[in-house]
Structure 1
Amino acid sequence: MIPPNFISEGSLFGGILKLRNAIEAVVFSLGIAVPVLKIAAFSFTTKIIILCLTALPAGIFALIGVGGESLTAFLMNFFHFLRTRRTISVETVCVSEEKRTDKHLFPDIGDLPEEFDEEEKVSARKKRKKKQPAEADFFPVEKIENGICYLKDKRYIKIMEIEPINFLLRSAREQRNIVYSYMSYLKISPVKMQIKVISKKADIGSHLQKIQNDIAQEKNEKCKILLMDYYNLIRRIGLKEAVTRRFFMVLEYEPMPGGSKKNEEKEAIAQLHIAEQTARTYLRQCGNEVIEQEKPEEFMAELFYILLNRKKSNSVGFVENAAEAVDEYFLAVDKTDKIEIPISSLVMPKEIKFQKGSYIEIDGLYYAYFMIPSDGYKSQVAAGWLSLLVNAGEGIDVDIFLNKEPKDKAQFRLGQQIRINRSKMKETSDTNTDFDEIDSAIRSGYYLKEGLANNQDFYYMNILITITADSVEELEWRSNEMKKLMVSQDLQMKLCYFRQEQAFLSTLPLNKMEKGLYALSKRNVLTSGVSGCYPYVSFEMSDDNGILLGVNRYNNSLIIVDIFNSKIYKNANMAILGTSGAGKTFTLQLMAMRLREKNVQVFILAPLKGHEFRRACHNIDGEFIQISPASHHCINIMEIRKTDQKANICLDGDQRAERSELAAKIQRLHIFFSLLIPDMSHEERQLLDEALIKTYALKGITHQNASLYQQDGSYKPMPVLGDVYAVLMENPETKRMANILNRLVHGSASTFNQQTNVRLDNKYIVLDISELTGDLLTVGMFLALDYVWDKAKEDRTVEKAIFIDEVWQLIGASSNRLAAEFVLEIFKIIRGYGGAAICATQDINDFLALDDGKYGKGILNNSKTKIVLNLEDEEAQRVQEILNLSDTEVMNITHFARGNGLILTNNNNVTVEFKASALETEMITTDRQQLQELLKRREMKQ
């Protein structure tokens, strides 16, 4: 509930006219009419005409008012604007000698410029005019030290940045818990708070720079082409669609009554530090994090710089601008040993124009400030309703001011006003609209009184809205669109006529609102109503060092994910779920290609439709390995592979002598043979173990790792399956196993009986096992995984990703527990080797079939990030139960079009539209119509 203001100003004539407006109308009319009537030179008819042209319009204007204000208030504000409108130009500012002190404000910003010689100093001083420090007086911040802002009005404030969550996609129960947690914080929060939301074009400069670095370092020409195409895609999306939002909370020091001014600064620093820690603790319960700033002073200065230089800050960073300002400042002042550079010189724009009553111009951008008037709210709102304003679009900022009133004072005023309104109501006819107004004020008063009795606090809340644009026409268009949006939600928005400068200063993160704007826009609300205005609702996933997945459908922010960032994600594993045709293979390949472009080692296992991966693999100069009876490719399962252990030895020391490479290999060979011979008895397992040891012994390989090496330091020739077959045939008790193995030695699948003959050093490797059928499919998949796992464990400091398509083939009902355990083990421990395991599956029921879903659930639990594409109703219901999705999310999942999905990570769910360039789509698409178009284009080229 956001109840109407309980104090009613009263009205006349059934609520048609406001009392103040009526009094002003009478005064204005009489003030004009009396002198006119006393003019003897005019006839009575002439006097009536003059009064109709003067007194009557003045009286009507006074009755109606302007912009919700009375005529006198509007005129006073208008004349104040005419008197004070100006242009502030920073270029004409120089700090006088008496304002210099012996401290630098930012000693760590950069080295001060070298000493100028006398001729340069004289020349610089002649070129620069010395005037009064207009911008220094205008900017309200005196200095930034000790992690807080010292303001010129002797206040102390602390600015914190808050990470939002995706509130709207949470279940009703989760939303309720978040609101209650936020309410708990409000009960112990400072008396005055400002919450600021900034919305602007996404800053993709840093991400683009990293891509350019990748292009410069990439040696493969085909990858360079893809990287340049990816660069253009990011740039195009960033310019057209991408929006980013930042959330700030401003806390103010509250001096104790009768406190000592002597120690006020120390008390302010300590109290604001405690307030920050308290906010951090309580907001964490809501799922939000207060961002830890390594240099809080620089963070706050940079925030002011961004707010005051929106256009310039897109191309010139704060540190770079500060360095330029320092250089200019030293040219403009006389040489002294100790000089303080004012904060205004580092953050203020070149020019601020307060020339128009409906907007201002700063740094080439146009700003218009609006407020939600006191009567502009709905009485009942849904939790998180501010998302309407927060997600309104680029260039829309929101400022929320909360002022907690003393409870005893509020209760006294409530009781007094309720009695006054009840007496008014007795004198008012129930047919008048004035009756409804008074009745609403009484009901509001009782609601507030009851809330205060139930330990809630009384607040006044104000909301200002800032709209920015590149031109006046665009500003008007955005303002009109915003008004339509507000009206559609039964909200009002009014322009701050002739108060643009006051609104501009109010929206700076200084926790101070101009008195006139405060009076026009304040709305009484209880703690429960404030908590329902929970503002941190626009979650973004953006990491400059990540890869682009797409655009957030709710707020148009870029989804750039670095799954290897251990500060954000506990592990880099991912699971992609979706029905057939939902775009799993497309999404999986898109991620694989972009990771390869970032020089991440990529392995892809394709148990079905391996041909869909060939085109992309060829165009990225990858290695396509086909494991099948008909292929000449072979990975020798018996091979003990020589791996690069330099990094591991450097980190942990040489432990190779403590670990038998042969024993480790034989342990994995047992899994291979158990897949090939599922009904193997315990006795046969023992006999197989002996046969494997004998096979390696025949090649001179024992449990001593030194036996692996030849004199030149290379590994000895490894046995193949035919060597095991020969040993098994020697013993009558193992002939059954030999006969089963014969298929891979002399039978139709004899290509398995070879030494490894494929390249293993490529950065993009696809292992196609889709032509294997029946029991050979799981055997082939294990063979591929065994090879990949050896490579993944080589260097823990190198990023690598293992993609397993259609993982249900390995962990489903038709698979083997040993194979499923092996896959689950990869998901559990690959993080320790600096890698990521990423799987995709379309058959949810089979994915969760083996051992009552033990392995499928294990994979999901060990995947910090899940991507859910379109699912059928039955599958969606099952996924809802496992992933705790809300009904709204389930409905979205069942209606997703191809190219859309739900990303779940770190307790935040984001609906994303995946983005691929035309070149990427051409490489990885599996859509029949797109393939037909591609075929036609290539035939035309031939």
Structure 2
Amino acid sequence: MLTAPQTPSQMINGTGNVIKTFVRLREVAGEVACLNFGRKVYEYRSIIKVNTVNFALMAEDDQDALIEGFKSFLNGLSYPLQILIKNLPHRLDDYLNSLKSIQGDLAEVSRDHAQFVQQLASKRALVKRVFYIIVPADATLNRNRAEALINAQTQLRLRTDELIRQLERLGLTGHRLQEKEIIDLYQSSLLSEEARQFPISDNLLHGANNLMVSTREKSNSRSYSLEEDTMGEEELTRGKKKAGKEKKQPEKKQKTPDFVSIPELIAPSSIEVFPWYVRIAGELGHEYTRTLTFVNYPRSVYPGWLDSIIQVDEPHVDFSIHISPLSPQQVTARLGKKATEFRGSIMASQRQGKAADPNDAIALSDIEALREKLARGDERIFSMSLFVQVRGRTRQELSERNNRLMSAIRSLDFRALPAHWQHHAGLLSCLPDGDNQLGRARLFGTGSAATFYPFTGSDISMDTGVMFGVHPSGSLIILDPFNSKELENANLVVFAKSGAGKSFFLKTVSCRLLPTSNVYVVDPEAEYNNLCNRVNGQYVRLSSESLQLNPFDLYKAERPANANQDEQDDENSNFFREKLLNLITLFELLLSDGGALTQKEKAFLYRCLIKTYENRGITMDSSTHHRTPPNMQEFFVIMSSASRGDHRFGVGEDTFGLHERLERYLHLFPSRTRVVLDNRFVDFNIRELNDTLKPVGLFLITEFLWTKMRQAREGLGNQRHTIILIDEAWLLMQFQQGAKFLAEFARRIRKYGGGLWCTTQNSDDFLGSEEGRTILAMATMKFLMKQDSSTVESVVRTFRLSPGQRNFLLAARRGEGLFTTKNWTPMEVVASPKEAEMANTTLGTPATSVVDETIEELEYYQQLNAMGNGTAKKGRPASNGRTVQGTIAPKPDQNQRN
């Protein structure tokens, strides 16, 4: 009976053997990784994490400029580099757990959204791509490790800072990895799945090279640290031998164990090397790795060809590029020899009366041109190696993933071969060590090396937040608008034509933010009524009969126990002055014909405002601000007093006719504010305001919300984040003073834990003013959806879009667009069935009853509380038929619109 031969393999078992063979990292000193390659001295590395640009969406001229910049980047190198690209599976565990932990009336929608995300993950690979540059320090023979470390830190800091400056010239950004980030990167490079599920905690990291102590005892003993060791290993050994000679030791010596070290934290239990793969054993089981190396390259390639391979929809794939600049002396002789060979071949053919081989003639021409560029210093020669490391949980998964990668590589006319019998060297070459163990290098000039430009992609997702949409490559775009470490502010602008899906996008995202944030909507077309009812929000209707808000309300600040009295008084005084200036702006919107009042008219209004507040006993003194504020009727009485022969207030006669212009608006303003913002979602419906009053209503709402946010900052209200959503903001931007107020809101809302979200379908009116451009500049997040051909040019000029991006916006489907926080990326808006049902706009939904001025005070507040608690009568959305899961929105009928 014949038996199959066993597969030859080499088992490297035991933590010590694995560390000695595969784990080069010995310690991390701040931002420097200290490596041991088995030599007498350590080597040091610095690692830069790089943010990418979307190369595919750039204009051809911009692509050429980027490649030229990358050429300059390469020509400036005087030391080898490693570029490491990791395609990681998107971590959804924390996001899904946060959704499932939501309780209350949003629990059902959150569970439906979690199930929808899980279905997305099962149908497509959700990939997150991370890019790194490994920078080495020059190796020295200094045996004093402390001095060598200091020298390496200085050199790496200079090299890293210069590289980051060079990257910024390319439009890229990068930051240097710290201690914890470096260790996490090494752990994921050895065992990716284990690093994802069981990352090294800070407590474990602090325990490395230290004694374990009880939390109930205070240890005064000095812990041992590798960074503080100023003696080399040989000196330490000699010291131990010398001490052994001075004091007699027993004949049988017992080896003293060492402390737990950083290599032991990241080392797998065993590594087994096979001819076709490497099997790495960890806590969760085995991982199989295989390394592919590029061996043949086509004659000509287009710049950025590597993007097509990097963006492959496959997780657990790493790309490692080793770039080593060579001096001209190293390659001149080699190029001269090859030129002689080709020239001899051509001459031999001519002597035989044959035509010269065109390939030899072209190759000779290329070599001569390269030698000339080298002599002038315009070009350099690089030794480059490109490796692809594929991982899998099983051999079948590894084989299937390997075959898909090979097909993608062959489709571009490249050739990559598995590193048979050398996969362990491939594993070492794909670690962030900057060490090319596999070799397989090829010579490239600067022009050809620049086509390897690797920093392509547009992954802007964060570890925490809510889902904004999905990327065409399959990854989720999860963002936390209030993450100050990643985003400058939480402001957002959305530009789209009517029917592109901008309202659907804002409804779904704001609904996902409701568990942690308050959302206040300014709704000019009653599109958020259905969503307000479904989330038990508060509905406020502003009409041409009543604006519901008293613009004279003050910020009633109560001094916290630990607050400084002088600072609190100054804050309240400043607020009162701002209130007066805001009221002047309001009267400009109400009373001016051309959009602005004269300085004399403003001075008269200011005197009247001061007297109106003084009539209630309110002055600049903050102790008076708790008193009952005046109202518009009182202001009208004081402003028109001199005209009626009453000179008690001393404001002078209204020679401008302002009180006559104001009289027709008195019925709009109640004697007291009829809105109590005690709900997480408030919908201000201004649909019934005419065109003249819409800017006034928007101004009152935003100023009222500004007051509430100041209260929250002082600890007087809810400490949740706040999103103020102004739909069709161009309505307010049409008026100069309203635009100025909104621009000031955009500048300062970040300090109060909020974000201003503006949407518009009339981009020309929005971008035609200086204030509109200011709002745009202050918005970290921007979303451009489908554009109309009549307005797309202004959008292209404002955002400096490429022709490819312009065509993308013109051809975009409903819910598609370009989103950016730093770089533009395509994004598609998707929602679960329940979210799509909630975001549907139903014009037939009955509105919640609004209190009229004639209703008694008690009855008013009872109904207001009922609306705030979600017990008021709520309409149901009209039937929309079957909802298709994963689509942008349900198909609208004649009673529905988006």
Partner residue, 1:582: 500
Distance 2:756 2:559 in 1: 21
Distance 2:727 2:483 in 1: 24
Distance 1:432 1:200 in 2: 56
Partner residue, 1:674: 588
Distance 2:634 2:843 in 1: 46
Which structure shows the higher helix fraction?
A: 1
Kept in 2, the 8 Å contact 1:660–1:704? The answer is no
The reply to whether residue 198 of structure 1 matches residue 86 of structure 2 is yes
- SS of corresponding position for 2:543: coil
Kept in 1, the 8 Å contact 2:43–2:139? The answer is no
The reply to whether residue 503 of structure 1 matches residue 426 of structure 2 is yes
Partner residue, 2:405: 482
Kept in 2, the 8 Å contact 1:190–1:251? The answer is no
Change (3 A) 1:404 1:760: same
TM-score scaled by length of structure 2 = 0.78
The reply to whether residue 564 of structure 1 matches residue 482 of structure 2 is yes
Kept in 1, the 8 Å contact 2:277–2:288? The answer is no
The reply to whether residue 156 of structure 1 matches residue 43 of structure 2 is yes
Q: 1:894 Cα shift?
A: 0.9
Partner residue, 2:699: 782
The reply to whether residue 318 of structure 1 matches residue 241 of structure 2 is no
The reply to whether residue 449 of structure 1 matches residue 374 of structure 2 is no
The reply to whether residue 808 of structure 1 matches residue 730 of structure 2 is yes
* Counterpart residue type for residue 280 of structure 1: I
Q: How does 1:690-705 map to 2 (within 5 A)?
A: 690-705=607-622
The reply to whether residue 242 of structure 1 matches residue 164 of structure 2 is no
* Counterpart residue type for residue 143 of structure 1: R
- SS of corresponding position for 1:653: helix
Kept in 2, the 8 Å contact 1:551–1:912? The answer is yes
Change (3 A) 1:818 1:435: same
The one-character-per-residue Cα deviations of 1:170-214 (angstroms, maximum 9, x if unpaired) are 34444344434433333343433221111120123444555567x
Deviates more, 1:857-866 or 1:270-279: 270-279
Number of corresponding residues:
776
Q: How does 1:467-478 map to 2 (within 5 A)?
A: 467-478=390-401
Kept in 1, the 8 Å contact 2:49–2:131? The answer is yes
* Counterpart residue type for residue 242 of structure 1: L
Deviates more, 1:428-437 or 1:800-809: 428-437
The reply to whether residue 764 of structure 1 matches residue 681 of structure 2 is yes
Q: 1:839 Cα shift?
A: 0.4
Which of 829, 832, 835 does residue 914 from structure 1 map onto? 829
RMSD after superposition: 3.7
The one-character-per-residue Cα deviations of 1:812-852 (angstroms, maximum 9, x if unpaired) are 2xxx2111211122122223333221100001122234xxx
Distance 1:801 1:175 in 2: 37
Distance 2:565 2:257 in 1: 49
Partner residue, 2:865: none
Kept in 1, the 8 Å contact 2:569–2:622? The answer is no
* Counterpart residue type for residue 63 of structure 2: Q
Partner residue, 1:222: 105
Kept in 1, the 8 Å contact 2:508–2:831? The answer is yes
The reply to whether residue 865 of structure 1 matches residue 786 of structure 2 is no
Change (3 A) 1:806 1:462: same
Distance 1:433 1:580 in 2: 67
The one-character-per-residue Cα deviations of 1:467-499 (angstroms, maximum 9, x if unpaired) are 223333333333333233223222222222333
The one-character-per-residue Cα deviations of 1:539-560 (angstroms, maximum 9, x if unpaired) are 321223433211222x433322
Q: 1:347 Cα shift?
A: 1.8
The reply to whether residue 282 of structure 1 matches residue 166 of structure 2 is yes
Distance 1:559 1:932 in 2: 31
Kept in 1, the 8 Å contact 2:384–2:441? The answer is yes
Q: How does 1:617-656 map to 2 (within 5 A)?
A: 617-629=532-544, 634-643=548-557, 646=560, 649=563, 653-656=567-570
Q: How does 1:238-387 map to 2 (within 5 A)?
A: 240-255=124-139, 265-266=148-149, 267-295=151-179, 298-319=180-201, 339-341=258-260, 343-357=262-276, 360=279, 363-373=285-295, 376-387=296-307
Q: 1:648 Cα shift?
A: 11
Kept in 2, the 8 Å contact 1:325–1:345? The answer is no
Q: 1:652 Cα shift?
A: 8.2
Kept in 1, the 8 Å contact 2:27–2:263? The answer is no
* Counterpart residue type for residue 382 of structure 1: Y
Q: 1:795 Cα shift?
A: 4.2
Partner residue, 1:29: none
Q: Which runs of 5+ in 2 are unaligned?
A: 213-252, 644-652, 845-875, 884-889, 891-898
Partner residue, 1:535: 454
Q: 1:729 Cα shift?
A: 4.8
Change (3 A) 1:255 1:545: closer
* Counterpart residue type for residue 590 of structure 2: L
Kept in 2, the 8 Å contact 1:590–1:924? The answer is yes
Distance 1:478 1:434 in 2: 45
Partner residue, 1:840: 759
Change (3 A) 1:194 1:704: closer
- SS of corresponding position for 1:528: helix
Partner residue, 1:719: 630
Q: 1:340 Cα shift?
A: 3.8
Change (3 A) 1:928 1:665: closer
* Counterpart residue type for residue 763 of structure 1: R
Kept in 1, the 8 Å contact 2:502–2:815? The answer is no
Distance 1:492 1:441 in 2: 21
Partner residue, 1:423: 344
Kept in 2, the 8 Å contact 1:358–1:495? The answer is no
Percent pairwise identity: 23
Kept in 2, the 8 Å contact 1:160–1:290? The answer is no
Larger radius of gyration: 1
Q: 1:419 Cα shift?
A: 0.9
The reply to whether residue 139 of structure 1 matches residue 22 of structure 2 is yes
Distance 1:426 1:202 in 2: 60
- SS of corresponding position for 1:576: strand
Partner residue, 2:529: 614
Partner residue, 1:894: 810
Q: 1:630 Cα shift?
A: 5.7
Distance 2:467 2:685 in 1: 26
Distance 1:904 1:671 in 2: 33
Kept in 2, the 8 Å contact 1:140–1:152? The answer is no
Change (3 A) 1:432 1:725: farther
Q: Which runs of 5+ in 1 are unaligned?
A: 1-80, 94-132, 710-714
* Counterpart residue type for residue 677 of structure 1: L
Partner residue, 2:52: 165
Q: 1:244 Cα shift?
A: 0.9
TM-score scaled by length of structure 1 = 0.75
Distance 1:85 1:793 in 2: 69
Partner residue, 2:624: 707
Change (3 A) 1:646 1:432: farther
Partner residue, 2:519: 602
Change (3 A) 1:899 1:646: farther
Partner residue, 2:325: 404
* Counterpart residue type for residue 424 of structure 1: S
Partner residue, 2:248: none
Change (3 A) 1:212 1:335: farther
Distance 1:704 1:253 in 2: 64
Q: 1:925 Cα shift?
A: 2.4
* Counterpart residue type for residue 839 of structure 2: I
Distance 2:355 2:825 in 1: 47
Q: 1:229 Cα shift?
A: 4.1
Partner residue, 1:97: none
- SS of corresponding position for 2:132: strand
Distance 2:127 2:279 in 1: 23
Q: 1:660 Cα shift?
A: 6.5
Q: 1:261 Cα shift?
A: 6.0
Partner residue, 1:21: none
Kept in 2, the 8 Å contact 1:666–1:689? The answer is yes
Deviates more, 1:782-791 or 1:175-184: 175-184
